[in-house]
C-alpha cells in the first residue's frame, strides 16, 4: 500500500473548497487558475518548516493544522496529514469586511485569529468532502497561528517526503497559498 494519498484528489479537493469559500465569504472568483506544485518537506527538529515570508515577498498571516485518523493518533501526535494556509496581509482587510468587523482596529492578534478560523473552516470542508468520497472522517487539530513565520513549524507525517503547494490568485495578485500533505487513507466500506 502506498504511504501517500492521491495528490490529484487532494489538490482538486483543496481547489474546490477554497474557491467555494472565497465565493461565499467574499463574493469573488479567482483571477486565474491555481498553480499547483510539489515540494520536498523540509524537516527541522521534528517539525515541518513553514516558510511564510517566501510566499509573497511581503507580510502575511499563516495558520497550520493537522489531520488525524483516530483519537489515539492525535494523543500520540502522529498526524496523517498537515495543512498550512498563508494569506497576504493586505488581503486580510477584505476578510474583515466580509465578517462585518471594520469597526474594530485590525491588530495582529485579530488578523491571526481570522486566518486560523479560515484555515479551520477549509480543513472542516476538506474533511467533509473526503468523507463523502468514502474516506474516514478525519480529526482536526486546533490551528497554530502566526504572522510572517512559525519558528516551531508544524507536526507532520514522517512517512511523507513531499507536499503540495497551491497558489491562488484573486484581484490579479497571488494572495493565498495552501500547502498540504496527506498520508494514505483507508477507503470505508459502504
pLDDT along the chain (190 residues), means of 10: 85 97 88 96 92 86 97 96 94 73 70 92 97 96 92 92 96 94 84
pLDDT (tens digit, 9 = 90+) per residue, 25-73? 888 899 999 999 999 999 988 899 998 878 888 899 999 999 999 999 9
Asked if residue 1 is part of any domain, the answer here is no
CATH no. for residue 116? Answer: 3.40.1550.10
pTM: 0.93
Q: Are 121 and 115 in contact (CB under 8 A)?
A: no
- Which of 47, 68, 15 has its CA nearest to residue 176? 15
Q: How many residues does the chain have?
A: 190
In this structure, is residue 104 part of a structural domain? yes
Count of structural domains within the chain: 1
Amino acid at each position: 500500500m502506498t504511504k501517500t494519498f492521491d495528490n490529484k484528489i487532494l489538490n482538486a479537493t483543496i481547489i474546490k473548497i477554497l474557491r467555494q469559500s472565497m465565493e461565499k465569504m467574499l463574493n469573488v472568483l479567482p483571477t486565474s487558475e491555481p498553480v499547483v506544485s510539489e515540494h520536498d518537506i523540509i524537516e527541522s527538529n521534528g517539525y515541518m518548516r513553514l516558510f511564510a515570508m517566501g510566499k509573497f515577498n511581503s507580510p502575511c498571516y499563516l495558520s497550520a493544522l493537522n489531520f488525524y485518523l483516530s483519537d489515539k493518533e492525535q494523543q500520540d501526535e502522529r498526524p496523517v496529514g498537515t495543512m498550512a494556509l498563508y494569506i497576504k496581509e493586505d488581503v486580510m482587510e477584505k476578510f474583515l469586511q466580509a465578517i462585518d468587523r471594520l469597526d474594530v482596529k485590525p491588530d495582529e492578534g485579530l488578523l491571526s485569529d481570522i486566518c486560523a478560523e479560515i484555515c479551520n473552516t477549509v480543513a472542516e470542508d476538506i474533511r467533509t468532502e473526503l468523507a463523502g468520497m468514502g474516506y474516514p472522517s478525519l480529526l482536526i487539530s486546533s490551528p497554530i497561528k502566526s504572522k510572517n513565520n512559525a519558528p516551531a513549524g508544524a507536526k507532520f507525517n514522517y512517512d511523507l517526503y513531499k507536499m503540495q503547494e497551491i497558489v491562488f490568485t484573486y484581484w490579479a495578485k497571488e494572495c493565498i497559498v495552501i500547502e498540504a500533505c496527506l498520508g494514505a487513507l483507508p477507503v470505508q466500506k459502504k
